[in-house]
Structure 1
Amino acid sequence: MKSAAITAVLASVASAHYTFPKISGTSDWAVVRKTQNWQSNGPVTDVGSTAIRCYQLGGGAAGVQNVQAGGSVVPAGADVKTWDGSGSVWFKVYQDMPASANGGYKWTSEGQSSFSLPVPRCLPEGDYLYRIEHVALHGASQPGGAQFYISCAQVHVAGGSGAKTPTGLVSFPGAYKASDPGLAVNIYNTGGKAYQPAGPSVFQC
């Protein structure tokens, strides 16, 4: 079994609280691991906590969703439904970058109830944890003010063309520091600086 873990990152100015309970073609929590905030919608704020990984309430979800590499992600021999995602096994496939607006930042994901995220066309076939993270930055002018809304879906990727081993692997916790410029930032008064996302660069095919 070829397996790994991937993460997609969204950020915003929004102060609303979120859960990500499903991916297209599934019901709530069928393939997404139920999160600790599934009823409260509360965030993770400690980037050094293991909750920053998948924020899950208990074990894995019951199912695994089939997806196609190139469509609109566990060490070899492990079962994606029970694997905890520990270690330097995570790579980033997407990040939502803001535009400058009135001296601050504005993200395209703000206010959306759903979002389409990529499955890289060059991913090797196998089981993956697909982690989505929405970071609310309205209170992030000081370290520790960023709010993370996280879920991990269990998926099986049908291999794409030109399979390529992902690089830039990181661990959760470990990928972020509370003082990272993308997490400790005044999004309302940027001083003209470009936004610097936290974590690794996006994996490219």
Structure 2
Amino acid sequence: MKLSTILYLSALLIPAVSAHYRWTSLVEGSTVTTAYEFVRQNTNYNSPVTDVTSDDLRCNTGSWASAATTQTANVTAGSVVGLALDQAIYHQGVVNIYMAKAPGSASEFDGSGDVWFKVHEISAITDGGQSITWPDDNLTQVTFTLPSSLPSGQYLLRAEQIALHVAQSFGGAQFYISCAQINVANGGNGTPGPLVSIPGVYTGNEPGILINIYDPIPATYTQPGPAVWSG
């Protein structure tokens, strides 16, 4: 039996309840803040969302209920921010980081409408169909530099890891999601975009979401979602 087939069958045997990693903390520079201090706590104890048409795809199930009691962190445009997990990611997949500017307070913003833009991504590396490298080996946090031209104001900062270990059928991809609340100071006059809605950004049929990563091994990988806005 081919190794790729063995890995695929093994993934099917992993119980869904084992998928418990969650984005819990905001990262400011080299500091990981207290869990759920600035990140909305959700009620999805199994963690992933699989329905790309659900409002839960924004910040995860039950997170809106914690928005008002979640603090908003003060950060500066051009600084390093990110989100950290409660344990290392262990399912193969990719990472996208989105932001959405609140019309007022981030704690009062539900993230609806065409307001989201991508600011960072970590994709898979393929090698002509012979091998594929996933950004999930001991990954416990993802950080990036806020564009210096990002306008000042309050934002939702959304981390999304798309686990693809059982994504060979529609609805099999698992979206591990959380949203932090931040207030950006000393910003610029950039125009973030393209702007998308969540849900709405994905149909579930994208080649980077509906994919068999084991047999055959993909020759290439296409990151789902819009292009990254870098300022």
Point out where structure 1 has 5 or more consecutive residues left out of the alignment.
1-12
Q: Return 5+ residue gaps in structure 2 as ranges.
A: 1-10, 12-17, 81-98
Normalised to the residue count of structure 2, the TM-score between the two structures is 0.74
Aligned length in residues? 188
State the Cα deviation string for residues 85-117 of structure 1 (Å, max 9, x = none): 000000000111111267343223433122223
Superposition misfits of 4+ residues, deviation over 6 angstroms: none
Give the CA RMSD over aligned residues: 2.2
Within the alignment, does 1:33 sit opposite 2:60 as a pair? no
1:58-69 mapped onto 2 (5 Å cutoff): 58-60=65-67, 61-69=69-77
SS at match of 1:128: strand
Q: TM-score, normalised by structure 1?
A: 0.83
For residues 111-132 of structure 1, give each alpha carbon's deviation from its aligned partner in whole angstroms, at most 9, with x where no partner exists.
Answer: 3122223322210111000000
In structure 2, distance between residues paired with 1:36 and 1:181: 30
Identity of aligned residues (%): 40
Q: Does 1:19 align with 2:22?
A: yes
The amino acid of 1:174's aligned partner reads G
Q: 1:151 is aligned with what amino acid?
A: S
**Equivalents in 1 of 2:221, 2:57: separation in Å?**
21
Residue of 44, 47, 52 corresponding to 2:49:
44
Correspondence 1:85 to 2:111: yes
Post-superposition shift, 1:56?
4.5
Q: Which has the higher contact order (CA 8 A, sep 6+)?
A: 1
Q: Residue by residue, what CA displacement relative to the aligned partner does 1:4-42 show, whole Å, maximum 9, x if unpaired?
A: xxxxxxxxx9x84321111124211111111122xx233
Cα displacement (A) at 1:81: 0.5
Which structure features the higher share of strand residues? 2
Which of the two has greater helix per residue? 2
3-state SS of 2:158 partner: strand
Distance 1:164 1:111, change over 3 A: same
Q: What is the alpha-carbon distance in structure 2 between the residues aligned to residue 191 and residue 56 of structure 1?
A: 31
